[in-house]
Structure 1
C-alpha cells in the first residue's frame, strides 16, 4: 500500500514567496525540488538546507524540507521544519505538521496542529474534512495512551523476520505452523513476494523455509490462509495467465507432508493451484484471504487496483461445489477508506481486521467486531494501545485458544528498515476484553479395533445438535481428521470405512483446558456376522418412542452405511433401564427399535434388510443403581445378522 505524503501538492501555494528570496536560495530550492522528483534524498536535503540557511524565512523551502524529513522518518526535524514554514504560511504547514505528528506517535502535537489548521479561514472543503477526521484520530489516540494496556508486543525471531518485509501471518489450527509473506529475501537478485512456512519446534522457537510445492513461482505470491488442518491453502498470486485481473485468489491442496522436529508440526507440500473463479475473482484486485474454520466462508479484500484507498472486505460462501458470488460486508465494517487483512477466528464469530477509516491511532489500526445471532456485525472496537500505534498494524491472526495473537507491524512504503526489516511479524497476548471465544483443535484418529493399525480411507461426519455439520475424508492425509471446536460443544461423530462397522460416538468438549490440542482415537470393528455396535446419537423423548431432532443426522449416516454395504442384514435392538415394569419396558424398547427401522425404510433401505426387537432391561451394560449407569443402558444397537459373504 502506497503512502502519498503531502509534498509537491503545496508548491503552488508558495510561488509568491519565492520571488522575495535571494537568487542563491531560489537556485538551491529549485535544485532540491529536482532531486526530490528523482528520489535523490541526500542531494535534496543538502540543497533545501542551503536554501533556508541563505533565506531563513523561505517558507516553501521549509515546507519541502519538512516533507523530506517526513519521508525519511525523521520526526523531530520534520516537525521543526513545518513549524518554521507555518510562521508565514500556516495553511499547508499546519496540515502537514499534524499528519507527521500522527505518523510519529506525537498525538498531542498532532491535535494541536489540527486545531491550529482548523482555526484558519477559507479552508478547502476536502482538506477541512480530512483535518477533522484526523483530529478525531488524534483525540482518540491521546486518550488511548492514557489507558494503554501492559501487553508486550515482541517480534518473532530472525528465523521468521529475516527478510526485508515479513507480513500476513496465517496460523494452523493446532498453532504449530504459520505461513507468511516475505519480500526481498537476502541473497535474491530480484525483489518479489513469496509464501514461507514456519513451524514451531519442541523448544517453542520457529523455523522457517520457503513453501515447497507448486504455489510459489517467479512472480508475486503472498497473503495466504491455511485451512485448519493444513490440507488446503488459499493465496494471492498476481499477473498469472489464468487470472481475471491484476491479482487473484488461488487454491492449492496438499499432496504430501512430513514431520518436523516438533511432535505436532507438519511441513506440507502443495499441488498445482487453481483459480477460485468468477465468484471471487474479477478484473479488480483481490487479495488477503481468510478462510473460516468451517471452510464455508471466505473473507478477502477487493479494490479497484492495488494501493487504492477503496479496498473493502468481501465474503464468499462455499455452496458445495464452488465459492459463490462475493458480497461486501457492509457499512458497519467497511468505510470509504481502506480496509485490510480480515481474519475470522476459529470461533466463527470474532472478526479481526485492519482499517484506515475507523477512528484509530494513525495509518492502519487493528479492530474487532463480533458476528451477532441475527447475522449483523457488532460494534467495531479498536484494539487500543499498545497493540495499535503510529505505525501500520495489520495482518492479525489469533490462535484457537483466543488469547495468543500475531500481527504485522511496520511502515508500509517506508524508505528505511530496521534490523529485522521494514515490516516484521510480532506476537502478543490479547487483553481479556478482546479475547475471542476459546476453541480447541481436535485430532481424531481412525484405527482398526483389532490390529490398532490406522485406516487411511476413513470418512467422518462431525455434528452439533444446533445443526452444524462437518464432513471430511482422510484421503491424502492419513487416518486422522482435524477440526477446531468450541468449548462446551456437545458433539456427535460418525466414522465409516469400507469393511468395518459404523462407529458412532458422542462427546462433550470441555469448557476449559490447559492445552489446545485434543486427540481422540476411534476404533472400528471389522464388519462380521454377530458383531454389534451402539448408535450413541439416537435419542428419544423421555419415556417415549419419539425421536429427538438431533437423531436425524445419525439415522442419515446409518442409511449411508447400509447403502455402502448392500449385502448386510441387521437387527435394530432397543434397550431400556430397569425403571418401570418389565412389560412396559418391553413395549417401549420394541417401539423405539421400530421407529428407527421405519426411519431407515423412509430413506430407501429395503425393509427385508431390517429386523427390530426390544430387549427391555434384560441386557444392561452397567449397573442400574446409578443415574449414569441407567443412562448408558438406555440405547439403540445394531446387530449384524448377515454380511452375505459369510464373514
Structure 2
C-alpha cells in the first residue's frame, strides 16, 4: 500500500513540476503549500496540514493543496477525511488530476465501501492518459471489489468472543501463542515505555505476558520472564508444543544480524533461559520476523524480506538438521506473491499452514488464508478464510488449537479497549487435522532414574518417520503430537536398553482426542528381559505378516546388530478363543513368520529361536475385548547375553 501511495505521489509531483505553475495565482497560498511539502517530507504531518489549511484559506480552489492534503490523510489513515478531500477536488475540476478517481476508489476500498469503490475504479479505467502499471493495479483492485461483494453475500459462521480482562490488558494485546494442551497462552502486549527509555519517535515497547487455563478459566496474565522481556521490543512468539522452548522476534538488538532477528529461549525447571540469536543462515542482514515452529520442533516458518523472494515480505522455511538450521527455502509461488505474506502459523498437524497476505485475492489490506501440504510436500492454492473473518481491515496473527476447532486472533473491533485477543469456532471448511498427543516421562525400569532417550513416531502404513525427538535429559519428560488421520507406531530407544513399543490407531477414530499419558519404562539388556512388540500385525486367524510390521522388525535387527552378544527368542501368544491345539499352532506359526522375516533380512539365524505358547501365558483377562487384544501378542525375549 505504501509503495502504491508513493507512486501516485511521485506522479502527482511530476505533473506539477512539468506544468511549471499551479492552479492558483495566490503567492501566499503557494508559499504555504511549499512549506507543507517541506514539513511532510520531514514527517511533521500536523504542521503540514496546518500549512495546507492556510493555503486553502487563501484560495479555496487550490487543487494541489487538496491533493497533498489527501495524501497526508492517507498516511495518517484518516480515511473519511481523505475521501472528502478527493470529492472536493472532483467538485473543482475532475479532469485536473487523471488519477483522482483511482485515489478515491482506493480510499473507499480501504473502508469496505466496495460497491461505490467499484464504480470509481471503472470510471478511472476509462482514462486514456494514465500509466499502464497503475491500470494493472486498478484492474486488480476492481477484481478485489467483486470478490469482496461476493464474499459478503456468502458469509461464513463467525462469532468472536473476547477472552476477557484476565488475558486482555488496557493496552493493545496481540500475537497469541498456545501450547498443544491448550493450557498455556502467551500474548504480546504494547506497553508504555519506562521514562528512561522513551525516544523521540518511540514511546512504547512490546513485552510477553502469559496466562494459564485452570478450571476452564484463564488466570490473570503476568509478565512471562524478566530474562526474556527487556525495555525494548519482543514480539510474535511461537511456543513449542510442550512449552519447553520458544522462538520470537526482536528488533534493533546489539547482537542482531539485521533490523529484526529471530531468537530462542528454553524453559528449564520452570524458568526461562536467556534468549539466544539463532544466527545464520536463518537470520540475515535483512529482517526475519514472526517465527512459527512445527510440533516436532524440526521446521521453522518465518517471514522475511531477504533476497530471492517473490515480493516485499515472503514466507520462508528452515529445517533443523545435524544440530543446525538449514539454509532457508522460499515457500514458492503457491504461497508468496508480489506483495507481502506475513504471520505464518503451522498447525500441530504439520500439514496445515495459516498466514496473512495482501497479495492474494482478499477483502482489502491483509486477509488470512489457509494452505495444506499434499503427499508430495507441495502447498495447495491458498484459500481465503472468508467474510466476516476477513474484512476491509488488517487481519493477521491467527493461531488454531490442537483439536482444530477453535481459533485465537487479535482485533480492535471494540475500539474502547484497543486490540484484544478473541476466540471463535473455526468453520468446518477451514479446519486443520485434529491433533491428539501422548506425553509422560522415560525412566530406567530398575532404578527409576529418568532417562534421555530417542523417540520416533512412525506412520505404519508408509513406514515413514513422522516425528523424531528426545526426552528431557533431566526430567525424562516428552510430548509427541498425534494427528488423528493416521495409525502410528511409537518407538523409544536408548543405548544399553531394549526399545519400547506402542501403537496408536487413530485413523477413523472419533474418540481419539483424549490425550495419552504413558510413562515409559526402558529395560536394561539382561537375560529374561522382553519387549512386547505392539507393532507386529497379522490378519485375523492368519500368520501372514502385514507390511505395517516391517518398521518394528527393522528395529529388532538394529538392536541385535548393536548388541552382537545377545541371543533372543521370538515368542507368539494368543487369547483363549479357539481350542488349545489351534492356539498353539497359530502362535507357533506367527512366531515363525517373524523369525523367517528376521533371518531373511539379516544374518541373525544363529542367534534367534522361536516358539508358540498359545493362550497359556495371558497378561490380561480373556473376558473382555481389550484384555484379549493384549493377550494376542508377539514378544522378543533375551535368552543369552
Structure 2-normalised TM-score? 0.83
In 2, Cα distance between the equivalents of 1:374 and 1:494?
25
SS in structure 2 of the partner of residue 91 of structure 1: coil
Change (3 A) 1:502 1:40: closer
> Is residue 486 of structure 1 aligned with residue 478 of structure 2?
no
Q: 2:132 aligns with which of 125, 133, 137?
A: 125
Change (3 A) 1:283 1:635: same
Unaligned runs of 5+ in 2: none
Change (3 A) 1:27 1:240: closer
Match of 1:51 in 2: 55
Deviations 1:567-591 (A, max 9, x none): 8664331224567886675555345
SS in structure 1 of the partner of residue 504 of structure 2: strand
Match of 1:152 in 2: 159
Alignment of 1:373-392 (within 5 A): 373-392=375-394
Change (3 A) 1:585 1:162: closer
In 1, Cα distance between the equivalents of 2:84 and 2:539?
78
Alignment of 1:460-539 (within 5 A): 460-466=455-461, 467-476=464-473, 478-495=475-492, 502-509=499-506, 518-522=515-519, 524=521, 530=528, 532-539=530-537
The answer on whether the counterparts of 2:574 and 2:614 sit within 8 Å (CA) in structure 1 is yes
In 2, Cα distance between the equivalents of 1:587 and 1:629?
21
Match of 1:230 in 2: 243
> Is residue 94 of structure 1 aligned with residue 92 of structure 2?
no
In 2, Cα distance between the equivalents of 1:154 and 1:55?
51
Match of 1:265 in 2: none
Match of 2:26 in 1: 22
Alignment of 1:277-316 (within 5 A): 277-278=280-281, 280-304=282-306, 310-316=312-318
The answer on whether the counterparts of 1:256 and 1:270 sit within 8 Å (CA) in structure 2 is no
Q: 1:116 aligns with which of 107, 115, 123?
A: 123
In 2, Cα distance between the equivalents of 1:499 and 1:185?
56
In 1, Cα distance between the equivalents of 2:351 and 2:66?
50
In 1, Cα distance between the equivalents of 2:170 and 2:260?
22
SS in structure 2 of the partner of residue 18 of structure 1: coil
The answer on whether the counterparts of 2:172 and 2:190 sit within 8 Å (CA) in structure 1 is yes
Change (3 A) 1:214 1:456: farther
Deviations 1:166-211 (A, max 9, x none): 4433322122223444444453634476551422332522544444
Change (3 A) 1:294 1:474: closer
1:62 is displaced (CA, Å) by 1.8
In 1, Cα distance between the equivalents of 2:40 and 2:627?
83
Change (3 A) 1:223 1:28: same
> Is residue 201 of structure 1 aligned with residue 213 of structure 2?
yes
Instruction: Pick which of 294-303 and 618-627 moved more.
Output: 618-627
Q: 1:615 aligns with which of 610, 613, 632?
A: 613
Change (3 A) 1:578 1:172: closer
The answer on whether the counterparts of 1:447 and 1:454 sit within 8 Å (CA) in structure 2 is yes
1:319 is displaced (CA, Å) by 3.4
1:26 is displaced (CA, Å) by 2.9
Match of 2:440 in 1: 444
Change (3 A) 1:57 1:385: same
In 2, Cα distance between the equivalents of 1:386 and 1:23?
50
Change (3 A) 1:630 1:274: same
SS in structure 1 of the partner of residue 15 of structure 2: helix
> Is residue 273 of structure 1 aligned with residue 276 of structure 2?
yes
In 2, Cα distance between the equivalents of 1:321 and 1:388?
40
The answer on whether the counterparts of 1:446 and 1:480 sit within 8 Å (CA) in structure 2 is yes
Match of 1:34 in 2: 38
SS in structure 2 of the partner of residue 378 of structure 1: coil
In 2, Cα distance between the equivalents of 1:545 and 1:121?
80
Instruction: Compare relative contact order (CA 8 Å, sep 6+) and give the higher one, 1 or 2.
Output: 1
In 2, Cα distance between the equivalents of 1:382 and 1:201?
31
Q: 2:267 aligns with which of 247, 254, 260?
A: 254
Change (3 A) 1:60 1:457: same
1:327 is displaced (CA, Å) by 2.1
Change (3 A) 1:500 1:126: closer
> Is residue 137 of structure 1 aligned with residue 144 of structure 2?
yes
Change (3 A) 1:326 1:355: same
Change (3 A) 1:323 1:304: closer
The answer on whether the counterparts of 2:310 and 2:337 sit within 8 Å (CA) in structure 1 is no
Alignment of 1:392-471 (within 5 A): 392-409=394-411, 420-421=417-418, 424-446=420-442, 455=450, 457=452, 459-466=454-461, 467-471=464-468
Match of 1:367 in 2: 369
In 1, Cα distance between the equivalents of 2:520 and 2:337?
52
Change (3 A) 1:2 1:80: closer
Change (3 A) 1:512 1:500: same
Change (3 A) 1:121 1:459: closer
Deviations 1:206-239 (A, max 9, x none): 5444443755556654333222112232333445
In 2, Cα distance between the equivalents of 1:186 and 1:214?
17
Question: How many matched pairs?
Answer: 625
The answer on whether the counterparts of 1:570 and 1:641 sit within 8 Å (CA) in structure 2 is yes
SS in structure 1 of the partner of residue 176 of structure 2: strand
Structure 1-normalised TM-score? 0.83
